[in-house]
């Protein structure tokens, strides 16, 4: 089995587009949430989200026509292009049938579905625009990446919601380990939309203005959007072309609570962590930092913190949530977490949890890296992703020069 390394990063986010700007945003604790402009929020009690203002896909993509794709597909394609460019990967560096695409999402082309719904309500089914209907299938997200990169290897969209990017990374990892691909571009994409915003509000999971994970007075999530892509390739392939290596992907864990759509299960999350550690060949004491799922809801954060204690004991490594800056980007969330994890390893810092004010007495063991990024020697990172239905997915990344059994 070949080793799998990360050689390119492509974030399109509310705190920065491109790896340099995104990295600066993480270090600065930049807050990307603001009053929603992407839809008419009149009548909503809460109107803040993490939108990518000024997203201009035409400045990033080269092969796909932005007029023929929805916003979410364009997030995916733009992120993939940025990641491939960051990897210094020319298309002549890999056979087109040896590079594939895996994209995670929650709602796919949610804004397109919303527009079609408005047309149907106003004028019946005859009013539906066929051009918009063509944009709906979620499979188009991965296809957009494949078309943008002229990649004819495996191409799949995974719809396991808020853990989907970690599922995508795991799927890509297996393709590389099995030898069926040399390079895989994996991550996730989703768009802010009215119906998701309304749904989370009605569920009582939406914060009014700020997301403050692990804080005593946390009140919920802010919906967010963007595209996150990582270039994964076999170590041999990366070495042969002299690629810069950010980190190594060491393994992953996947499981499902099979219990409740929105109530996470502490025992299953802890088992998913242990599974990821076994896959990666690491022990709890090897983990230097946990990039948390950390949505900012009372239930999720408490269950995640308790599952962490189950595995790590009363002195776990630092745990932070970048959702405090980005909002909850749904299918892209653990992709952004994976990018933050590799930057933490490569650049030696811990991203902060911003908007944090008070220790929660129910989780006194937790160090949330409060409000300010921290310089640190980071060798191994655990990246958590959890989703509707108890779909848990965790990826593990390590420094490349680490000697491992």
Active site residue ranges? 162, 293, 328
* Backbone φ, ψ for residue 198 (5° rounding): -65, -40
Residue 279: CA count within 13 A, CB half-sphere: 22
Block residue for tokens 């790590």: 312
Q: How many other CB atoms are there within 10 angstroms of residue 137's CB atom?
A: 13
φ and ψ at 279, to 5 degrees?
-60, -40
Sign of the dihedral defined by the CA atoms of residues 284, 290, 293, 294, in that order:
positive
Query: DSSP states of 34-67 as a string?
Result: EE--SS--TT-S--EEB--TT--GGGT-SSS-GG
115 half-sphere exposure, CB direction, 13 A CA radius: 16
Phi, psi of 201 (to 5 degrees): -65, -45
- Quick check: 355 and 42 in contact, CB under 8 A? no
Tokens of 393: 């997915």
Considering only CA atoms, which of 144, 147, 142, 136 is closest in space to residue 175?
142
């Amino acid at each position: 089995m070949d080793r799998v390394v990360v050689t390119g990063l492509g974030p399109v986010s509310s705190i920065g587009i491109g790896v340099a700007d995104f990295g600066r945003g993480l270090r600065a604790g930049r807050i990307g949430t603001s009053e929603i402009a992407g839809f008419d929020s009149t009548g909503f009690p809460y109107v803040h989200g993490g939108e990518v203002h000024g997203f201009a896909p035409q400045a990033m993509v080269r092969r796909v026509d932005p007029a023929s794709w929805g916003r979410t597909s364009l997030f995916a394609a733009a992120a993939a292009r940025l990641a491939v460019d960051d990897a210094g990967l020319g298309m002549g560096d890999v056979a087109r049938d040896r590079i594939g695409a895996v994209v995670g999402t929650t709602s796919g082309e949610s804004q397109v579905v919303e527009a079609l719904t408005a047309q149907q309500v106003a004028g019946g089914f005859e009013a539906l625009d066929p051009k918009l209907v063509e944009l709906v299938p979620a499979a188009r997200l991965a296809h957009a990446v494949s078309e943008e990169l002229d990649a004819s290897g495996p191409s799949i969209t995974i719809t396991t919601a808020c853990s989907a990017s970690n599922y995508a990374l795991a799927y890509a990892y297996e393709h590389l380990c099995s030898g069926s691909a040399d390079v895989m571009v994996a991550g996730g994409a989703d768009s802010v939309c009215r119906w998701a915003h309304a749904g989370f509000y009605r569920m009582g999971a939406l914060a009014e203005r700020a997301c403050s994970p692990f804080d005593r007075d946390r009140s919920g999530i802010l919906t967010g959007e963007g595209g996150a892509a990582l270039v994964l390739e076999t170590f041999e392939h990366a070495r042969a072309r002299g690629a810069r290596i950010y980190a190594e992907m060491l393994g992953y864990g996947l499981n499902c609570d099979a219990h409740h759509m929105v109530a996470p299960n502490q025992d299953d999350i802890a088992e998913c962590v242990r599974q990821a550690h076994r896959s990666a060949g690491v022990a709890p004491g090897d983990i230097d930092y946990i990039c948390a799922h950390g949505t900012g809801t009372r239930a999720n954060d408490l269950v995640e913190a308790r599952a962490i204690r189950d595995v790590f004991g009363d002195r776990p490594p630092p745990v932070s949530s970048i959702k405090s800056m980005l909002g909850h980007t749904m299918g892209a969330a653990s992709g952004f977490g994976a990018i933050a994890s590799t930057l933490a390893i490569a650049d030696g810092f811990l991203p902060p949890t911003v908007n944090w004010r008070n220790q929660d007495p129910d989780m006194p063991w937790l160090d949330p890296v409060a409000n300010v990024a921290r310089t640190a020697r980071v060798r191994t990172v655990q990246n958590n992703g959890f989703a509707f239905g108890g779909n848990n997915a965790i990826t593990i990344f390590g420094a490349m020069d680490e000697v491992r059994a």
